[in-house]
């Protein structure tokens, strides 16, 4: 006879504790702040959903959200095709494979604030290699502390430089898992290079690409360190992404209530978009 007991729950307990302390409890604190007003000394006043209303109606939030979506859209539309193209042109066999893989992985090994600092120095108009070259050799007026467009071009270039490798490595993993027979069969069937890409390579990369896009979306949507170090959100507010704005409200102005409400809205948007994307991409696999 099968005896039933509930002892197995004890095995889940450590994980539950861990999740509680690193996610649930901090998150509840945020929820707590988001519905109350405080003037310090642990004195709280009930505020209801006022902070949420305030944030959702705030022009400042709309602007930051718009910049955030624009940034994420731009880097995805550059990094995904570029990553696939690089993965396609990488060798599949031979001595160059490890060389390429290590070269590809290098940018990702650099800490984020170092990336920001590197690019900051790199683009300085008077002493930076790129900044000097653009201003004094090519004669292009380039100064990202003055020109919002230059600032945008720089942070996008930096992100592409830093993160395209992720798309490359994941796509490459998908590509090398395709057995030779597929390419041979396609050759015999008279398929063009485009058909091979469209009907063999792309479908076989679909799963890893979904993961790559999802990771790039979440990371870029929550980006903070690099633009903070590079531009500090400027010139003006032109590169103030959601997370930079959030920190300004929370730690600069010490408006904990609105900041808490904003981070919950921010979190909900990230979650919703990720969920929508993943569900749409994997819809076909279910039936």
How many CB atoms lie under 10 A from the CB of residue 141?
Answer: 10
Angle of helix 148-176 relative to helix 59-89, nearest 10 degrees?
Answer: 40
Nearest distance from residue 179's CB to other proteins, in Å? 6
**Comparison of 190 and 236: residue with beta carbon closer to other proteins:** 190
Nearest distance from residue 198's CB to other proteins, in Å? 8
Strand, helix or coil for residue 235: coil
**Comparison of 44 and 182: residue with beta carbon closer to other proteins:** 182
Say if residues 67 and 241 touch (Cβ distance below 8 Å): yes
What are the phi and psi torsion angles at 38 (to 5°)?
A: -135, 145
Nearest distance from residue 206's CB to other proteins, in Å? 9
- Helix %, strand %, coil % of the chain (to 5): 75, 0, 25
**Comparison of 130 and 202: residue with beta carbon closer to other proteins:** 202
Q: Could you tell me how many residues of this chain bind other proteins (CB under 8 A)? A: 16
94 lines the binding site for other proteins (CB under 8 A): no
How many CB atoms lie under 10 A from the CB of residue 116?
Answer: 22
Residues 204-223, one symbol each (x = binds other proteins by CB under 8 A, - = not), give x-------------------
**Comparison of 6 and 192: residue with beta carbon closer to other proteins:** 192
> Please, which residues have CB within 8 angstroms of residue 131's CB and are 6 or more apart in sequence?
122, 123, 124, 125, 142, 143
How many CB atoms lie under 10 A from the CB of residue 230?
Answer: 24
**Comparison of 48 and 94: residue with beta carbon closer to other proteins:** 94
**Comparison of 111 and 179: residue with beta carbon closer to other proteins:** 179
Nearest distance from residue 66's CB to other proteins, in Å? 35
Nearest distance from residue 10's CB to other proteins, in Å? 42
**Comparison of 60 and 204: residue with beta carbon closer to other proteins:** 204
Tokens of 264: 């919950």
Residues 166-205, one symbol each (x = binds other proteins by CB under 8 A, - = not), give -------------x-xx-xx-xxxxxx--x---xx--xx-
Strand, helix or coil for residue 110: coil
> Please, which residues have CB within 8 angstroms of residue 173's CB and are 6 or more apart in sequence?
208
Nearest distance from residue 286's CB to other proteins, in Å? 11
Residues numbered 130 to 159 that lie near other proteins (CB under 8 A) are none
Tell me how far apart the alpha carbons of residues 78 and 84 are, in angstroms, rounded to a whole number.
10
Nearest distance from residue 190's CB to other proteins, in Å? 4
Tokens of 135: 């201003």
Contacting positions for other proteins (CB under 8 A): 179, 181-182, 184-185, 187-192, 195, 199-200, 203-204
């Amino acid at each position: 006879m099968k005896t039933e007991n509930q002892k197995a729950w004890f095995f889940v307990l450590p994980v539950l504790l861990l999740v509680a302390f690193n996610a649930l409890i901090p998150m509840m604190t945020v929820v707590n702040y988001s519905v109350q007003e405080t003037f310090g000394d642990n004195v709280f006043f009930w505020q209801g959903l006022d902070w949420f209303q305030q944030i959702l109606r705030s022009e400042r939030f709309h602007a930051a959200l718009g910049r955030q979506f624009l940034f994420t859209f731009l880097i995805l539309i550059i990094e995904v095709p570029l990553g696939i193209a690089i993965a396609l042109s990488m060798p599949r066999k031979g001595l160059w494979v490890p060389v390429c893989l290590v070269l590809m992985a290098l940018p990702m090994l650099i800490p984020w604030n170092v990336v920001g600092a590197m690019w900051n120095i790199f683009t300085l108009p008077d002493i930076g290699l790129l900044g000097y070259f653009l201003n004094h050799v090519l004669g292009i007026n380039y100064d990202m502390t003055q020109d919002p467009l230059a600032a945008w071009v720089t942070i996008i270039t930096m992100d592409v430089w830093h993160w395209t490798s992720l798309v490359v490595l994941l796509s490459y993993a998908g590509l090398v898992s395709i057995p030779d027979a597929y390419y041979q069969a396609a050759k015999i069937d008279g398929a063009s290079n485009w058909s091979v890409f469209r009907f063999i390579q792309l479908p076989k990369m679909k799963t890893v690409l979904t993961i790559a896009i999802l990771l790039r979306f979440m990371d870029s949507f929550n980006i903070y360190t690099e633009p903070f170090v590079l531009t500090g959100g400027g010139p003006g507010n032109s590169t103030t992404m959601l997370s930079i704005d959030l920190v300004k409200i929370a730690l600069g102005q010490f408006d904990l209530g609105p900041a808490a409400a904003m981070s919950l809205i921010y979190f909900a948007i990230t979650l919703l978009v990720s969920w929508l994307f993943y569900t749409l991409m994997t819809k076909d696999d279910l039936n």
